[in-house]
Amino acid sequence: MLPGFILMALIGAGIGWFTNRIAIRMLFRPQNPLRIPVIGLSIQGLIPRRRLEIAASIGEVVDRELVSIEEIVLGLAAEKNRGEIIETIKQRVEEIIKSRLPALVPGYIKDLIVDFVNDIVESQANDVINELAEKITQKAARELNLRRMIEDKINKFDLGKLEDIILSVADKELRHIEYLGAVIGFLIGLAQAFVVYFVL
């Protein structure tokens, strides 16, 4: 009787592990619809079959809940980035002035001009950056569709690569699901053995 109990429990564990493993793989495969002639049923992995809906949902959530074009532009023009923007402009101004002015112009004159222009840049930069950020935000809001961009990117992504990424990132969790299937199958096997030997 004991060997029978153990055998049925092990068979149940094997079935539980195998079915969970197959279920995980069937999230991605088959990538293209596979028709079973005898029963006339067509099967396809959940993610390939609902890829367009998934991409649209992700695009909508990112655009509505996580980040918008306006937030991206305003983030780039935030106070913490302004110093870097202003320094870049000042360096560029210095390069242009010193390279474009004739060699006859003394170096100290060039330095005075650079300092003068940089003072203007320093005093006006914040207003200019604010104005530019507002214009870019308005233009981006009119012409760029973040939701559509994300949706298109996901739809163009190779399903094989997506499968590899998800399986590698969630490998530990997916293995736990497989093992859980084995544990549940083992317990069901024990319950069946109990029914067979003591009830029937």
The answer to whether residues 167 and 25 touch, using CB atoms and an 8 Å cutoff, is no
pLDDT at 197: 75
For 8-40, the pLDDT digits (tens) are 889 999 999 999 999 988 888 888 888 888 777
Confidence at residue 180, expressed as pLDDT on a 0 to 100 scale: 93
How far is the CA of 10 from the CAs of 57, 130, 144, 189, in angstroms? 41, 69, 57, 7
Mean pLDDT of 178-200: 86
Q: Give me the pLDDT at residue 1, please.
A: 63
Rg (CA), the chain: 32
What are the C-alpha distances in Å from 102 to residues 99, 109, 113?
A: 8, 11, 13
Distances in Å between the alpha carbon of 199 and those of 7, 11, 35? 18, 20, 43
Cis link prior to 30 (omega < 30° from 0)?
yes
Residue-number span of the structural domain to which 23 is assigned: 2-199
What value does the mean pLDDT take over residues 146-168? 83
Per-residue pLDDT reduced to its tens digit, 88-132 = 888 888 888 888 877 777 777 778 888 888 888 888 877 887 788
Q: Count up the domains in the chain and report the number.
A: 1
Spatial separation of the C-alpha atoms in residues 77 and 100, rounded to whole Å: 30
**Digit-coded pLDDT (tens) for 56-86:** 888 888 877 777 777 777 776 676 677 788 8
